[in-house]
Amino acid sequence: MPYRNLLFFKIKPICTILRMIPAKMIRFESKLLSMNRLVIYQLFIRLFTNTNTTNSPDGELAVNGCGKFDHITSKALKEIHDMGFTHIWFTGVIEHSTTSFYDGIEADKACIVKGKAGSPYAIRDYYDVAADLSVIQTNRMKEFEALIFRTHEAGLKAIIDFIPNHLARTYKSEQRPTDQDDFGQGDDKTLPFHPQNNFYYLPGESLCLPTASGTDCFQETPARVTGNDCFTSTPSINDWYETIKLNYGIDYLNNRSEHFDPIPDTWKKMNHVLSFWAEKGVDGFRCDMAAMVPVAFWAQAIYTMKKKWNDLLFIAEIYEPWLYSDFLNLGGFDYLYDKVGFYDTLRNVMTGQAPATSISDCWKGVDGFGHRMLNFIENHDEQRIASKYFCHSPLPGIPATVVASLISCGGVMLYNGQEVGEDGALPLGYSGDDGRTSIFDYGTMPSLDRWVNDGNFDGRTLTSDEKKLRETYQFITRLPNSYRSFQMGGFYDLMWLNHPLTQFTYGKVYAFLRYDKTEVMLVAVNFSNEALDADICIPNHAINLIGLKTHKNTTVKELTSGIHYRSTLEPNGDLKVKTNIGAYGFFIGEFTTY
């Protein structure tokens, strides 16, 4: 879900929340899946394989078409794996609100659906998949399971969304197991809050939607609290009006008092939901708006899931840096979004609003747990790099992605279409023209569609610039697991010595070292639209710390060209490497001595 237009509340002292949880859970430490770095490809299924290029604004399913589980073939998955990705985050899997009708599945009223296709974050049945994504609607779950099987066969792991904070207003699970009560089924609707209710209520009030027109609209009495903690029966157009807030035992209107003993019913139901999808073979969950749910729930749920599925991955979408430590060390998350620090800083650097030296503040802000942060330059919530609202070109994304991929041992993620310069101009509909690829509408991503090439997944219809861009991204995304220093090595920021030098003063170059006992790598990126000659200084302090052997024959072998760049050993023991970095380019080289 977008983080925009939200009021966030800081959680109370953690000791009060976790007072009932066993000590062994509080000391929970995340275990990474393997030595491999986490490299995620976010794949929005509705658009990814849709080859219908009509793209009628606000078009219906029958007009604009829709991607399918079955259309993500073994060939497509092989190509994604060959780019160096370890995981695919399949976005939009679970059944959600939509205006499309299927036999046995009613369409939602337009007043509670954003766009024609609907938001994939307004879940309508936690035990079903979106019928839009199936070739044969009655076979939809088997088609999803087959996709998971193909994903594993391709050497990839599968992540899906877990949306714990809210549900669609029309939520009614038709596919839940017979031994499971539905959400809200046993609620006492006369009470604004009860620890065992699944929802929050506004007794005596009826819902008034900002999109309501005429009498044929969604009716709800008593009104339920809206998903973004909006405690009013008249949510605005900027609220998550199509969703209802879930109750995890926090009484928001009474000083956020906590009622976790006995365990709230919502906790139990959500544990069952997680287990259901883990049983389907899902390897991990990207947890939507994780900080809107108490960390106590996460500690209990993640601990419980990992007892049975030890390698199950949990990634938190979180925008509150003051909560990072709690959600990692107490909640048990494997990775956290690094949006507020990393993404926001890189965006400012890419658009010339901040110097490249400001990137140093990113790793300092997460020092000690940078290896558990997930870096990205695009995702479904953010504007496309190539859009007119961001960089007007995909090229500034290249140096940014190099930094995102190599600055730490943490995770890195690309959004489908980023690798071919998708600009977010289509599809148009509910989102309007805002530089984002709409998650609410039916349509295609034109640049990516040229790579899909009618299901051949060979890129033959890409433009020459798009092909070069994808090749560059493939080189970058393979790096995290191709060299031990990038995979699990140390990091040394070179900006403390280099920023006074001329080419660094312009604020366009950022440089650092990655190293382990067997190799030392120099990484430098150029955020300028002009090529730069950069003399990069390796301080004597770094040389001694790393144990780099230096003499007159020390060179740096640039990885893309194989060219050896000579270094100069200064009288003070510093090492200077002369490089040339192309416009929006990078220099990645390995120190060699011969």
**CA dihedral (15, 21, 25, 27) positive or negative:** positive
Same domain, 275 and 323: yes
Q: List the one residue out of 551, 486, 497, 570 whose CA is nearest residue 520.
A: 486
Q: CATH no. for residue 344?
A: 3.20.20.80
- In-domain check, residue 2: no
Q: Output the CA–CA distances (angstroms, integers) from residue 185 to 162, 173, 246, 261, 264, in the order listed.
A: 21, 11, 13, 21, 14
Asked whether residue 318 falls in the same domain as residue 392, the answer is: yes
The string over 9-28, giving b where at least 16 C-beta atoms fall within 10 Å of a residue's C-beta and e elsewhere, is: eebeebeebbeebeeebeeb
Residues of the chain with pLDDT under 50: 2-34
* Dihedral over Cα of 412, 415, 419, 425: its sign: negative
Last residue in a domain, options 463, 481, 499: 481
Claim to verify: residue 410 and residue 548 sit in the same structural domain? no
- CA distance linking residue 290 with residue 298, whole number of Å: 9
For residues 353 and 460, membership in a common domain is answered with yes
Is 562 found in the same domain as 540?
A: yes
Indicate whether 5 belongs to any domain.
no
Pair 517, 459 in one domain: no
Same domain assignment for residues 565 and 446: no
543 is a domain residue: yes
Q: Flag whether 172 is in a domain.
A: yes
pLDDT at 500: 65
Tell me how far apart the alpha carbons of residues 1 and 164 are, in angstroms, rounded to a whole number: 11
As for how many domains the chain has, the answer is 2
- Strand pairing of 586-593 and 520-526? antiparallel
Q: From start to end of 288-424, where are the E strands? A: 313-316, 335-337, 373-376, 411-415
Same domain? For 456 and 495 the reply is: no
Pick from 280, 402, 282, 420: nearest CA to 350? 402
CB atoms within 10 A of CB 208: 14
Question: Which residues are CB-neighbours of 525 under 8 A, at least 6 positions away?
Answer: 356, 399, 400, 402, 403, 509, 510, 511, 581, 585, 586, 587
By the 8 A CB rule, do 403 and 30 touch? no
Q: Give the pLDDT confidence score for residue 594 in this predicted structure.
A: 55
φ, ψ for residue 44, nearest 5 deg: -90, 105
**Structure tokens belonging to residue 420:** 């071919």
* 84 dihedral zone (left: phi>0; alpha: psi -120 to 50; beta): left
The pLDDT, as a whole number, for residue 22 is: 36
Residue 59 forms part of a structural domain: yes
Q: Look at residue 443 and tell me if it is in a domain.
A: yes
Range of the domain at 505: 489-593
Residue 8 covered by a domain: no
**503 and 412 housed in the same domain:** no
CB atoms < 10 A from the CB of 583, how many? 16
| Burial class for 237, CB neighbours closer than 10 Å (0-12, 13-18, 19+) | exposed
Q: What are phi and psi of 588, to 5 degrees?
A: -130, 115
Looking at residue 375, its pLDDT comes to: 99
- Residues 421, 391, single domain; the answer is yes
Strands (DSSP E) along 494-553, which ranges? Answer: 509-515, 520-526, 532-538
Same structural domain, 91 and 198: yes
Q: Which pLDDT value is given to residue 28?
A: 32
CA distances from 584 to 50, 117, 345, 399 (A): 31, 37, 17, 6
Computed on alpha carbons and rounded to an integer, the radius of gyration of the chain in Å comes to 25
Q: What is the CATH number of the domain that holds 550?
A: 2.60.40.1180
Of 422, 451, 481, the residue that ends a domain is 481
| Residue appearing with tokens 């954003």 | 114
> Could you tell me if residue 352 is left (phi over 0), alpha (psi between -120 and 50 degrees) or otherwise beta?
left
In a domain, 32, yes or no: no
Residue finishing a domain among 481, 515, 544: 481
| Residues 433 and 537 grouped into a single domain | no
Please state at what angle helix 140-153 crosses helix 74-82, rounded to 10 degrees.
40
